[in-house]
Amino acid sequence: MEQLQGNVSTTNSSFPKQTLYAGGFLPLDADDWTLVIPILLIVICLLGLVGNVCVIAVLLHNARKSKPSLIHSLILNVNLSDLLLLMFSVPFRAAAYSRSSLNLGWFVCKTADWFTHTCMSSKSLTIAIAARACFMYASNPAKQVNIGHVTIFAVLMCIWLVAAVLPLPEWFFTDARQIKSSFICLMDIPAQAQEIMAIFVKLYPIFVYCIPFTLAFFNFWRAYKQCQHRGTKTQNLRNQIRSRRLTLMLLNVTITFSILWLPEWVSWLWIWHKPANGPSPPQAFVTLAQILMFSTSCVNPLIFLVMSEDFKEGFKDVWKRLTSKKSLNDHDVQDQGALNSEGIADSTLPDAESSEQPATIGQVEQSNSQQNFGSQDSKENPVFPDVEQFWHERESDPAEQSNDPIPWEHQEQGTEVPKSSTKL
């Protein structure tokens, strides 16, 4: 937010009137920065889109294989918030920095800052609840797993509802105005709403930044302490390692998010609480604060993919699945092309050869059917070698085996038994 025409104030001299430029702040005066800042925002947008899509794909892939947990659902909500910011907020902010007089329409002007603060508030509230869920998992893994789908959906809906309600004053008091030859988004606060807005600018950072991160750090400290004091039995060792890794991963996400979002709150509080004739925050500082705020959407997926073994394995599974499908599709296309070429080659044979084909084909099919029939019988009724030799000897000389009354004596003497026609 940047002041318009120096120090423009309302009836309350300590409460300045603000202007919002198409969902962003007025760009720097130097022409070089009007090119550098949009490029930085576009790079953040592209990298963040790739990272968040990968994390969301891994989470959905893991949800198909097993029951989705509360922690994975909260991580998914964080990445969805980042994805919405990168798709609908960063491009308009880059456009606003490239051209300060760019007219993006009344709806974008009305909802730009409200939408950005809604997504950021959703992330902070989600991290606070994820810290509580992490402590639940560290103290009792079964308690966190037993949370149902309805409860998870209700928690996510409550997060988005609270995040959308908190910055509503920015929606109400922002309007599109035409000043000279420029179209700007002006936050016009009427006199009767001065006290309400003064309370809002004091309480909003407390509810969105201070309380969520305080609760998150407190729960992470309890979760890490619980991991350290747990027993080292064999059945608890795996849960202990997983809970420690999960705690450290989410703690790094929380620390990074709080540090990168802090300059934005410093500039926001500086603008709203500065004296009537006090200095405004430098444009370079305001711009840097916004770049750091949007960079959290690019850093969070990187932390998830680097520090979590589950995300690494899930990403490998998703990549293998995609590459295998691609190779199978290419193989099917090649087989179809080979079949088509063989069909074309068969259709170009001479008539004389085609007239002889039915007889030869019939003979080949008959021989193949006989071979297949024999192989089928051999598969269904297999004959062992010893049994086959026994029956072959019985069939070759049945008279000798049936007319010899004392075959064991001849076997001992090693003499052959003459054939006899004597009947017993």
Domains held by the chain: number: 1
Which of 96-110, 169-183, 194-208, 369-383 is predicted most confidently? 194-208
Give the model's pLDDT for residue 272. Answer: 85
End-to-end CA distance of the chain: 124
Asked if residue 331 belongs to a domain, the reply is no
Q: What DSSP state is assigned to residue 215?
A: H
Q: How far apart, in whole angstroms, are the C-alpha atoms of residue 193 and residue 199?
A: 10
Q: Is 91 exposed, middle or buried (0-12, 13-18, 19+ CB in 10 A)?
A: middle
φ, ψ at 301 (rounded to 5°): -60, -35
Q: How far apart, in whole angstroms, are the C-alpha atoms of residue 102 and residue 132?
A: 44
Look at residues 68, 49, 50 and name the one whose alpha carbon lies nearest to residue 59: 68
Asked if residue 100 belongs to a domain, the reply is yes
Which tokens belong to 312? 């690494």
Q: Any residues with CB less than 8 A from the CB of 61 and at least 6 apart, and which?
A: 314, 317, 318, 321
Digit-coded pLDDT (tens) for 255-297 = 999 999 999 999 889 888 888 787 888 888 988 999 999 999 9
Which tokens belong to 348? 């170009």
pLDDT of 397 above 70: no
Q: What DSSP state is assigned to residue 6?
A: S
Residue with more model confidence, 107 or 334: 107
Please give the residue range of the domain that contains residue 78: 18-323
Asked if residue 368 belongs to a domain, the reply is no
Q: How far apart, in whole angstroms, are the C-alpha atoms of residue 306 and residue 301?
A: 9
Domain with 45 in it: what CATH number?
1.20.1070.10
Asked if residue 402 belongs to a domain, the reply is no
Residue the block writes with tokens 């309480």:
203
CA angle 158, 159, 163 (to 5 degrees): 115
* Residue range 122-129: mean pLDDT, rounded: 96
- pTM over 0.95? The answer is no
Q: How far apart, in whole angstroms, are the C-alpha atoms of residue 84 and residue 80?
A: 6
* Residue range 346-354: mean pLDDT, rounded: 46
Asked if residue 197 belongs to a domain, the reply is yes
* Residue range 330-356: mean pLDDT, rounded: 49
pLDDT of 83 above 80: yes
Asked if residue 340 belongs to a domain, the reply is no
Give the model's pLDDT for residue 421. Answer: 45
Asked if residue 354 belongs to a domain, the reply is no
Give the model's pLDDT for residue 326. Answer: 61
* Residue range 14-26: mean pLDDT, rounded: 45
Look at residues 289, 41, 247, 35 and name the one whose alpha carbon lies nearest to residue 141: 247
Q: Are 286 and 223 in contact (CB under 8 A)?
A: no
Q: Are 193 and 173 in contact (CB under 8 A)?
A: yes
Q: Any residues with CB less than 8 A from the CB of 160 and at least 6 apart, and which?
A: 118, 122
Digit-coded pLDDT (tens) for 188-232 = 788 888 888 889 999 999 999 999 999 999 999 999 888 876 555
Which tokens belong to 172? 């109400």
Q: Is 172 exposed, middle or buried (0-12, 13-18, 19+ CB in 10 A)?
A: middle
Give the model's pLDDT for residue 42. Answer: 94
CB atoms within 10 A of CB 292: 17
* Residue range 89-95: mean pLDDT, rounded: 87
Look at residues 147, 66, 82, 75 and name the one whose alpha carbon lies nearest to residue 308: 75
Q: How far apart, in whole angstroms, are the C-alpha atoms of residue 109 and residue 30?
A: 24
Asked if residue 367 belongs to a domain, the reply is no
CA angle 269, 273, 278 (to 5 degrees): 115
Pair type for strands 182-187 and 174-179:
antiparallel
